[in-house]
Structure 1
Amino acid sequence: MLGESVLIDENLGPGDTEWLHLLMGDWQIIADTAHGDLVLWLPVFDSAEAIDFGPVGITENTEFRSVAQVRPSTVHTLFHRDMVERGMGRKMQTRAWLAWSGREIVRFKDDETDSELTMNTAVIPLVRNGRTIALLTLHTEPFGERTPPRIELVYRKIADDLLQMVTRGAWPEFSAPVGTARGNPRVSDGIMTLDAEGKVLFASPNATSIYKRLGFTGDLESQVLSEITRSLLPKDDKADETLPLVLTGRMPWRGEVRARRYSVTFRSIPLRRITTLGEERYGAVLLCRDVTELRRRELELMTKDATIREIHHRVKNNLQTVSALLRLQSRRMQTDEAKQGLEQAMRRVATIAMVHEALSQGLSQNVDFDDLIHRQFHLAAELASPGQEVRTVLRGEFGSMPSQFATPLALVINEIVANAVEHGLDGEAGTVTMTGERSLSSEGEPMLTVTIEDDGKGLGDRVIEESGVAAFRPSQGSEGLGMQIVRTLVASELGGSIKWGPAEGQGTRVVITALLASPKN
């Protein structure tokens, strides 16, 4: 493809760069119908030379450099080596000057570009707004003594028609949509030519086969394509209003039809020529492609996505049911220790349910953690000690992250916040602050740092840091199940480290560091 540094040039006028990009996006059609290689050339100027893209600035001695090429997909290439960043031979350079200054296509027998082959070469000037901006060369193999079949002659006529429009900047058109929808038709998929009224002049074998699948068994040639196609569609089908304009070749648009369980995409290229009345449409090239299998696979993927979202939704509902059952059971407990244990289990189950709820609302398996943690952070503090006056402050940005990372991180945050409220503030009013910060590690991998602080009674001067294998140890001293869960999840699921230490002023600061690129499974 064309390098961006080549196209961003002060010598190109307004819109020239964009038009060359459009040409690069569509010139495969010319290469496939012409059965030849295409090369794009730009003039080379000395830095001290006054630059003028008119006849004054370009002389017979001006050199040209190739900046891009495309090979045909319908026949073998003539150039087995890359032609980009090459210069022209003397013979071609002479024709290049004639094409540039005369603004007409120049054809000649070329035995210089490849010493092993004499090829037919056409030098096509690319003219926009009355000035030549670049050259295109088409290289094809001569027929020799053989008589070319009709299909080959038609293909080359199509290429000539397109090149005539290219040389005056009339194609590709800026008004034509350049969507990235999958299934855009190519020459090898099926091609037809139409007259000004939309009658078929020629249909390739693949195009004939496509219409046979749609239900038409006759001869396409001399038929009005739009009428045939409409008769094949189901009676209750509400066809796109733009489809007749595509099938008659009046507009450079794309369309799609579905009939007899088949799906076919179309692309229309109106053919225009200069007359006394200006640009006059005299026919069209119509590309078509059977995309039935492609659409079936897309439907399967959409169905799978919907199924996965439904599974996440049902898991979330089931977890919420479990959480509600735990809440009911905790109310029946006679001892505070049993009641507190069930309430903690309820919070953990509810946290996992929130992750599945987020996954059920999107198409990807990534979670917008900022939206998720905003709700969970405040809820965790509130549930840890109902009725206690706790202020929560959330700072920074977590961003999107995969579900296998989001679930353990949400559980870790839930445990640390609950611990900060229950033990750090210890029944007193206070503030819990959480900060999320994304950065890059020394190896350039995305890294997440989560800092949770409270202004409670603190740990004194003690600093505790856990990571790796050392974190997989039994509970020690007064450490509860929550801290053991935190250590295990950070070391195994997040593949990171966690550090407890004193906060500035008073309270406790907990810092979690993990690499987003490689969470442990």
Structure 2
Amino acid sequence: MNKAEMKRLVETQTELTAADVDELLRVATEIEQSLRYRAFDVFIDVLNSVTNEAVVVFHQPPREGASLYTSTVVGLEAKQKDEPGVYRTLRTSLNSVNLYANSQEQRLIVQRVYPIRNRFRTIGVMIVEEDSHEAYEKEHTILAPVFNDDEETFVADELTDELLIFNSEGMLARANKAAVSLYQKIGYIGSIQGIHYDNLALDGTTYDFLLYQRERKTQGDRREVSIVYGNYHLSIKKIWSLHDGQLYMIIRDVTDLRQKEAEIISKSVAIREIHHRVKNNLQAVMSLLRIQGRRVDSEEAKIALQESINRMVVIAQTHELLSVQVEDSLDFTDILMSLVQNMERLFAPLKPLKVKVKMNQSIYLNGQQTVSIALVMNELLQNVYDHAYADGVAGEVVIEVSEQKQIIAISVADQGKGYDVKTAGQSSLGLMIIKSYVTEKLDGQLTIESKKTGTTTRILFKNTLNSDV
């Protein structure tokens, strides 16, 4: 054995520790010195940490008889479709005994695969190979249904889940087409009928362990586990028969479901990142507007710039909240209270108004509706602060929000000096924004009542969160 070459292969192909490498070298030395394997080709494979493919790092040819190989395979990959036992043992840490495989030279062989462990981890596998003398047609044995009875075959093959039935000795007695297809996909070669449970289990359990569990549990106890086997996500349930001691193993391939969940999470992360960037961009624009506001001499221009900044603050706050959560729903209370606090900070102490918010429930809106109603509320409060009360007057604003049968009702009432709704609506940018957003963005209704003793604005719109309309 070229220990230097084996060490180099392990170190370049894996992230195993120095202690792990020493253990692999020790096992290789034992294989060379043992007479037990003198008539077999014996290998050590490790799992490449990047490709997740098994790689041959050691080969001991037989000392008695000819090798199954005509050239060296050290450094070559062992594919899952060719050597299912290797991957099963690497993933489950269980022995895989007498499973068919195809060698790197595409020769049909039989493998016995054993885990090599160090510090409670499987760091590689030892593979003992011998020639297969059984002649069969792969296409027929792989696809042949295991059920013999016509009625049972029909019923079992109609199941979308994979069904395997083991007899009281742990040998596979029956399997439906879905189960045969699954094991073919993960690399099993030939018929799986008659293979022991210990060579078919994908979740790291043995038949003796299941019997041990059964003795300490009530008969008919059902157990379900979820595992990841290579690229497959599987849900496995085992049921003991009460009358004949058979074990029913039902496997459900949930790979597509897990992939869709991963896609949703990925898209959600991307959307949150977009919200975060929008917020940052708005803050940059607000900074530019503040700089511009300090340089202009016109008081009217200063007011217009500040109003634009206030609107951007509302939008930025909404995107900030959307950037830190997965779902596209926001608690309107958080937005409203943030808006009120921002107005109080902006106008105090010149406008010492008291804002009362009355909400007896949490109301959640989607992102689009949240931005729209937040801008509307910003304009309403801006109008109250600007026009309802004279400077220094301690006025009051009452905001009431409620929801019933998906209809949200909002009222904003003050006791200020009021205004002419008809004439103001033609010249006020704020009122134009309010009307436009309520009727077009929210598809709602707007009512404004204003007189010398105060103004009340009422808004009705449908909450479209979780709605098909």
Q: TM-score, normalised by structure 1?
A: 0.53
The Cα of 1:425 is off from its aligned counterpart by 2.1
Q: Distance in 2 between matches of 1:149 and 1:510?
A: 74
The Cα of 1:337 is off from its aligned counterpart by 1.5
Query: Aligned with 2:246: secondary structure?
Result: strand
Query: Aligned with 1:448: secondary structure?
Result: strand
Q: Distance in 2 between matches of 1:411 and 1:353?
A: 11
Query: Aligned with 1:509: secondary structure?
Result: strand
Amino acid at match of 2:189: T
Q: Give the equivalent residue in structure 1 for 2:237.
A: 267
What are the residue-to-residue correspondences of 1:29-428 with 2, within 5 Å? 150-152=148-150, 187-196=159-168, 198-230=170-202, 251-273=221-243, 282-384=245-347, 387-396=350-359, 397=361, 399-427=363-391, 428=393
Query: Aligned with 1:319: secondary structure?
Result: helix
Q: Verify the 8 A CA contact 2:354 2:396 in the aligned structure 1.
A: yes
Deviations 1:309-330, CA, capped at 9 Å, x for gaps = 2211221222222223222322
Q: Verify the 8 A CA contact 1:258 1:264 in the aligned structure 2.
A: yes
Amino acid at match of 1:412: V
In the alignment, structure 1 residue 485 sits paired with structure 2 residue 457: no
In the alignment, structure 1 residue 436 sits paired with structure 2 residue 406: no
The Cα of 1:153 is off from its aligned counterpart by 6.0
For these two proteins, the number of residue pairs brought into alignment is 313
Compared CA separation, residues 199 and 413, structure 1 to 2 (3 A): same
Compared CA separation, residues 333 and 186, structure 1 to 2 (3 A): farther
The Cα of 1:517 is off from its aligned counterpart by 4.8
The Cα of 1:453 is off from its aligned counterpart by 1.5
Q: TM-score, normalised by structure 2?
A: 0.58
Compared CA separation, residues 344 and 422, structure 1 to 2 (3 A): same
Compared CA separation, residues 149 and 447, structure 1 to 2 (3 A): closer
Query: Aligned with 2:351: secondary structure?
Result: coil
Q: Distance in 2 between matches of 1:378 and 1:448?
A: 22
Q: Verify the 8 A CA contact 1:381 1:421 in the aligned structure 2.
A: no
Query: Aligned with 1:253: secondary structure?
Result: strand
Deviations 1:356-389, CA, capped at 9 Å, x for gaps = 2222233332322122222122223432456532
Segments ≥4 residues shifted beyond 6 Å:
none
Q: Distance in 2 between matches of 1:193 and 1:484?
A: 72
* % identical aligned pairs: 27
Query: Aligned with 1:317: secondary structure?
Result: helix
The Cα of 1:218 is off from its aligned counterpart by 4.7
Q: Give the equivalent residue in structure 2 for 1:3.
A: none
Amino acid at match of 1:511: R
Amino acid at match of 1:259: Y
Amino acid at match of 2:403: R
Q: Distance in 2 between matches of 1:303 and 1:326?
A: 35
Q: Distance in 2 between matches of 1:255 and 1:490?
A: 51
Compared CA separation, residues 149 and 193, structure 1 to 2 (3 A): closer
Query: Aligned with 2:357: secondary structure?
Result: strand
Q: Distance in 2 between matches of 1:254 and 1:395?
A: 49
Unaligned runs of 5+ in 2: 1-145
In the alignment, structure 1 residue 451 sits paired with structure 2 residue 411: yes
**Structure of greater Rg:** 2
The Cα of 1:346 is off from its aligned counterpart by 0.6
Deviations 1:201-242, CA, capped at 9 Å, x for gaps = 222222122122223325433434355445xx8xxxxx799x
Q: Verify the 8 A CA contact 1:456 1:506 in the aligned structure 2.
A: yes
Q: CA RMSD in A?
A: 3.7
Of 501, 506, 509, the residue aligned with 2:449 is 501
Query: Aligned with 1:282: secondary structure?
Result: coil
Q: Distance in 2 between matches of 1:342 and 1:425?
A: 22
